[in-house]
Every structure is written in structure tokens, then in C-alpha cells.
Chain A
Amino acid sequence: MRSKLLGVGFLLTSMLSAGLSPALAGPTLDAVKARGFLKCASSQGTVGFGAPDEKGYWRGLDVETCRAVAVAIFNDKDKVEFVPLSGQQRVPALQTGEIDILPRTFTWTLRRDANGLNFTTPNYYEFTGFMMPKALGVTKVEDMSGASVCVQTGSTTEVVANDVSKEHNLGLKPVVFENSSAVSQAFFSGRCDALITDAAALASIRATSAKNPDDYIIFPATRFMDALTPAVRHGDDQWLDIVNWSIQALIAGEQLGVTQANVSEMQKSEDPRVKRFLGVEPGNGAALGLDEKFAANIIAQLGNYGKMFDRNVGKDSPLKLERGANRLYSDGGLMFPLAFQ
């Protein structure tokens, strides 16, 4: 229902906004600075990626990616407002300027990219998985013939579900729901044999909603991976750069060995790459229109990507996900730091 209201709202704001909010036309950075805080999309509660904790403080990998941009601009990780959006609401919300960044387990696809959005830097590499009760005795896709599958609409997984079903001739029976709580309730009640979505989201659902998480098995639905990537609107290249390099600061920080604990000590480092990264040797910040110390500030307030991963979805979190493809390239993963110069 809300998605429909938002759709109508999108229609109306598209019709009215030119005359009413001139901020949209100008660069996003100026609008954000004038507003005094950043507006980011967040999930409606995917623990590990974006969910408020018991005190109402937003936590998660996507949430902290957004906080990194807030640090780059304001040097304050709390100058962010999080707008919980459903899978269907998020794209119109970004297109109409309701939010500045869309980091919400958002898969980089060609058609999304071409239709008014720009993708920045992947902050999580992901495969689509199935979760099933262990009691059913299924461990791989080929055994799933004829199974009912709970699917949440508003994601790429409904297309994956169909592709998998066609590829292995499984005749999967989809049951499609509009929001994530309905879909997990239907799965745990036994309405479906399997639940399909991103494997990390499955781990999150299993850790938070299952009576006994050990009763459920998660396995990959395809051999293909997706890049979950924060997106911004078309037409503001400076903003695209700022978000890109804020995420890069997290990854490069890990590669350079800069951590939350040693960041002030590293200021004295003789390594020219570290000096440029931390802004001891100026130039990077000015080029982006940010503070020279933006990367150092991000690490000081949030730590580097490795720590962020462990804290939210990795070994220090209830999800306990393997680093896998999200390791640095030097460790055999896909996270690749670019040159800060």
C-alpha cells in the first residue's frame, strides 16, 4: 500500500517539484550542506545491513557506508537521517531527491543504472541463496523440484528464482509477498518450503527470526554473484565522486593498514601513500571539495572496511558471515583499493 502511495507521491512531486524545490537542480553537496545532514535510504530492518538497535541507533554495513559519507562532509557520523524504504519505494525516492544516497542491499544492474541512477563502489559482493529447513533434507538446488518458494517483490531475486527454475527445470512454485516481515512469517510457518533472497539477508533472517537457527540450511541459488552497490542520482558528478571515494577510503584504509586505533599515529608515517591518504600531504580533499582530512576522519570515526565488515556481518556479529569475496584483492577477494592521489 505504501509503495503505491509513494508511486502517486512520485507522480505528484515530479509534476510540482521544478517550481517548488530549486535545491534539486543544483549540486547535491550544496543541498546537503545547506540542510546540515545527509539523507540515506535504509532497509526496513535487515540486521547486519541496516536496522535500528534497541536504543533506536541505526547500525549495519549499509548504514555505516552512509555514515562514512557524512563524516567526509561534516566530520560527524551522526549527521545522517535514515529513511526506511521498501524494495519498491527506494528507486523513486532517490530519483525524486527524497534521499541523497541509496545504500540498501541494492544490486547493480544494467537497467537500473541506465534509468536515472549511477552506481558508486560495491560495498558487498553477494550471491542469491535459498534457505530451507534441514528436516526436508535438501542441500542443493537440483533437489528442489516442485518446491514452493517464498519471494519478496521489489528485488532482483524474483527474476533469479525464475532463472534457476528454468535452468534446472524445477517447476518452483513462487509465493510473492510485498514486505520482508510477511515473507519471513510465511516461510517460518511452513507456507513455503524455501525462502529466496540474498544470502546475507537470509543469514540475518535466520539469526533473528528462527526459533532455532541450526534447523535451517542456506545454500547458493546460482553460481553468479551480485555487487550490492550504493547508488546516486544521474546528473551530479561531484556527488558521485564524493560517495565513491568515501567508500574507497574504507577499503584503501584496510589495505594501507590504517585502523581506528592507529590513525593518529599513522599521521607521522613516512609512507607517501599513507601521507596522501590521510591528507598529511594535501590535494585529495580539495579536489573533491571536501576537508583534506576526510579519509582520516572516516577511519577515525568508523574504522576501515575490514573492521566494519566484522562488526556488522562478520565474525563479531550474530550473522557470522565469512569474508569470502569481500576480502581485499590481496587476500583473494574482490575489494580493490584505488590510488588516493
Chain B
Amino acid sequence: MLFALWDNRRIRNNVIQVLLFAGFAGLLFWLWSNTAANLAARGIRVGFDYLNRQANFPISESVLPYDPSDTFGWAYVIGVTNTAVISLTAIIISTFIGLVIALVRLSNNPLASKMAALFVGVIRNMPLIVQLLFWYALATTVLPAPRLAFNPLPGFYLSLRGLYVPAISLGPQAGPFAAACLAVLIAAVIMRRLAPISAWSLSKWVLLGGLAVAAVVLLRPSVSFPELKGFNFIGGLRLSPEFAALMLGLVLYTSVFISEVIRGGIEAVSRGQWEAGRALGLSERHVMFRIIIPQALRIIVPPMTSQYLSTVKNTTLALAVGYPELGLVVGTVINQTGQAIESISILLAVFLTISIAVSMFMNWYNAHVALVTR
């Protein structure tokens, strides 16, 4: 009887599925209960109530405002936004640089092509952490002290403390104005869909001019110049050496990988496409950007997703050069609170979320550029 049941393929498969699932659930339960028992035995409190307590530790730079009197939860948010900003900036810049390197490497100029190949070979074969430390050490040894800052233009100062440039600050109407600009932009996009381009070309210039006048009149922008007061520069916009070293290292490293992905994609498009394009009388540039690259995208996008994901994860190396991304914040919180399991879980959850978001976007884009067969 049992043998007869076992011989039935559907029943057999279902039984195996149920057993596997039970085994997996059992493993999870065992891990969970074991962890709880061990933590209780060692007198370690578990819970997320510490997130509402005052953090008290400083974070060197952040995109959103942060003060040590904010909570541990907000410190995590600062870490996440810093990670998101460096990831996003590095991904966008490296994609452009990667495209340029790929095009140079594919060019007919042997010198340019060989130089690009050498560049890719050198950067790709050195560990990222070494490059980051190199750029940071270079920045902190070559640049002068703040009192001897390099001052190429009025208001521009380059020193060990970073690059300071004049900042344009806007009046209190900046928020509503930005909202109005966004509304106009959306309206313009809709208009463009409706009207033929030639018809709205003039109105576009009128609109832009109107906006510029409105901006100056409404916002009364003022410029703040950085100046040396005491130990440091006050005022202006600042690019810290930590951020600069991290960005330089990440962008160079990522862009050479991206350039190889793009080059592979372009070379995979059949020669016949080039020849067909030329036969139609299109210029080389048109052939490249209108015919070859759209087809290459289908090949490029999936490996590009992996590169973007690596970039997001590589940002955790920033702690070596003192940039406060999420990993550094999590490490500090563990030390201040001792809540290692909760903090590491948050770190894992955040990276999982960012990575899944990136890959979902890339999958959507991949479907968008995929060859549609009718």
C-alpha cells in the first residue's frame, strides 16, 4: 500500500516538499531557540527599545541633520542615507565614466585604446581597500594645512580639511519654489507628450526665462564665502577628504568593471548591424547610439545589475577612510549599547532591502529594453 503511494509521482513529490519544508522550519526554530537560550544564560538583554534612547556619539558628516542628542534610531537613518548617497552617486558617475572608457577602448586610435586597456588592467587588479587607503593617504599627505590652504579662486580653498567652495543659500521661499518647479516640470513633460516638439520649442524658452527671473526675485539668493576662523573654515560648501577619497576610489574601481561589461555588450552586437547602419548613410555616432547601444543594452543590463549591487556592498569599506556609512554607525552603536544581534540584524536588513530595490529596478529596466518579439 505504502509502496503504491510512493510510486505515485505527485504524492511522492509532495511528501518530499513537506519533509524539506519541515526540516527547514525546524532548523530555523532550533537556531532561534538556541540563540534566545544562550543570550538569556549570559544575561544579555535583547530588544529594540534602545533605538529611542539618546545616541550621544558624534557622526563626522551627514546628508541629513544629525546631533549627538538624537536617538540611536536616527543615527541608523543617518548611516543609511550616507550609504544610499555614496552608493547612488558612485553608481551614476561610474556608469558614465565606464561608458567613456569602453568607447575609448573600442576606438580605432591604437594609443587611446591601449591606454584604456592599461588603465582597466591596473585598476581592476588591485583590491578596493588598498586603493581607498592610497587615495586617503595621498589626500592627507599632499594637501596643505588649513592656514596654508591652496586658494586658486576667491572663495575656493583646498586644504587637508577638504575643498571649500562658496555656497548659494536660498531664502525661506525655497521649499514652495522647488515644489512649483517640480509642478512645471511635470506639466512640461505632459505637454511634450501632447504637442509636437517644434510647436513648444519657443514656449520652453519663455518658460525657462520666466522661472529664472522668478527665482532671483522670489528667493533673493545670497552667497556665503568660506573663511578661516580659528582652526577651520566656516561657511560655504565643503567636500571632506574622506568623502573625496571614498568617491574617487569607488568610482574608479567600479567604472573599469562597468566599462568591461559595456565593451562586452557592444562587441556582442553582430558586425552586420554596423554595416547595415553605414549602408543607410548614418554617421558612426548615430550607428553607435541609435543602433548598436540599444541592442547591446539587452546584454549589458543583467551583469550591470551585479556591478551595481557590488558597489552598494563595497561602500562598507568606507570605514577604513573614516566616512560614516552604515557599517561604521552600526559598529559604534554595538560598542555603545552592546546590542550586537539587533544591530547586525538591522545592517543585514538594510543591505538586503537596498540590494533588492536595486535589482528590482534593474529587472524592470531589463524588461523595458528587452527585445520585444511579436
**Residues of A bordering B, CB below 8 Å:** 1, 3-4, 7-8, 10-11, 14-19, 25, 87-88, 91-92, 95, 111-112, 115-116, 136, 144-148, 151, 153-155, 158-159, 161-163, 165-166, 172-178, 182, 185-186, 189-191, 193, 233-235
The distance from the CB of A288 to the nearest CB of chain B, in whole angstroms, is 23
The distance from the CB of A203 to the nearest CB of chain B, in whole angstroms, is 23
Please, how many angstroms separate the alpha-carbon atoms of A88 and B341 in the complex?
A: 13
Closest to A92 in B: B340
27 pairs, A vs B, C-beta closer than 8 Å: A1-B317, A7-B334, A10-B340, A10-B344, A11-B35, A14-B34, A14-B39, A15-B31, A15-B34, A17-B38, A19-B34, A88-B335, A92-B334, A95-B338, A111-B337, A111-B338, A115-B44, A115-B338, A116-B43, A148-B232, A154-B331, A158-B57, A165-B58, A176-B58, A176-B332, A186-B322, A193-B231
Closest to B53 in A: A111
Are A136 and B231 in contact, with the CB atoms below 8 A? yes
Are A11 and B344 in contact, with the CB atoms below 8 A? yes
Cβ–Cβ < 8 Å partners of B44 in chain A? 95, 115-116
In the complex, the 7 A-B pairs of residues with the closest C-beta atoms, listed nearest first: A174-B58, A234-B43, A115-B338, A189-B140, A162-B68, A116-B44, A146-B230
Are B338 and A116 in contact, with the CB atoms below 8 A? yes
Majority secondary structure of chain B interface residues (helix, strand, loop or mixed): helix
Are B230 and A147 in contact, with the CB atoms below 8 A? yes
Cβ–Cβ < 8 Å partners of B56 in chain A? 159, 162-163
Cβ–Cβ < 8 Å partners of B319 in chain A? 1, 177-178
Known: A111-B338, A154-B335, A193-B231. 7 other contacts (CB 8 A): A4-B331, A7-B330, A18-B38, A92-B334, A186-B140, A189-B160, A235-B42
Are A88 and B334 in contact, with the CB atoms below 8 A? yes
Cβ–Cβ < 8 Å partners of A162 in chain B? 56-58, 68
Are B141 and A189 in contact, with the CB atoms below 8 A? yes
Closest to A175 in B: B60
For residues 200 through 228 of chain B, which have their beta carbon under 8 Å from a beta carbon of chain A? none
Are B317 and A14 in contact, with the CB atoms below 8 A? no
Please, how many angstroms separate the alpha-carbon atoms of A227 and B43 in the complex?
A: 23
The distance from the CB of A131 to the nearest CB of chain B, in whole angstroms, is 15
Are A159 and B57 in contact, with the CB atoms below 8 A? yes
B234 CB-CB contact with A under 8 Å:
yes
Are B320 and A182 in contact, with the CB atoms below 8 A? yes
Q: Which of B140, B241, B322, B336 contacts A176 (CB 8 A)?
A: B322
Q: Which of A4, A115, A153, A159 contacts B45 (CB 8 A)?
A: A115
The distance from the CB of B128 to the nearest CB of chain A, in whole angstroms, is 11
Please, how many angstroms separate the alpha-carbon atoms of A106 and B322 in the complex?
A: 23
B327 CB-CB contact with A under 8 Å:
yes
Are B231 and A25 in contact, with the CB atoms below 8 A? no
For residues 58 through 102 of chain B, which have their beta carbon under 8 Å from a beta carbon of chain A? 58-60, 68
Are A176 and B42 in contact, with the CB atoms below 8 A? no
Closest to B141 in A: A189
Please, how many angstroms separate the alpha-carbon atoms of A3 and B332 in the complex?
A: 10
Cβ–Cβ < 8 Å partners of A7 in chain B? 330-331, 334, 340, 343-344, 347
Please, how many angstroms separate the alpha-carbon atoms of A193 and B159 in the complex?
A: 13
Cβ–Cβ < 8 Å partners of B317 in chain A? 1
Please, how many angstroms separate the alpha-carbon atoms of A286 and B39 in the complex?
A: 32
The distance from the CB of B256 to the nearest CB of chain A, in whole angstroms, is 22
Cβ–Cβ < 8 Å partners of B231 in chain A? 136, 144-148, 193
Please, how many angstroms separate the alpha-carbon atoms of A34 and B322 in the complex?
A: 43
Known contacts A10-B340, A14-B35, A182-B320; decide if A91 and B335 are in contact (CB<8 Å). Answer: yes
Cβ–Cβ < 8 Å partners of A172 in chain B? 58
B161 CB-CB contact with A under 8 Å:
yes
B324 CB-CB contact with A under 8 Å:
yes
Please, how many angstroms separate the alpha-carbon atoms of A161 and B332 in the complex?
A: 14
Most chain A beta carbons < 10 A, residue from B129, B319, B340: B340
Please, how many angstroms separate the alpha-carbon atoms of A115 and B44 in the complex?
A: 5
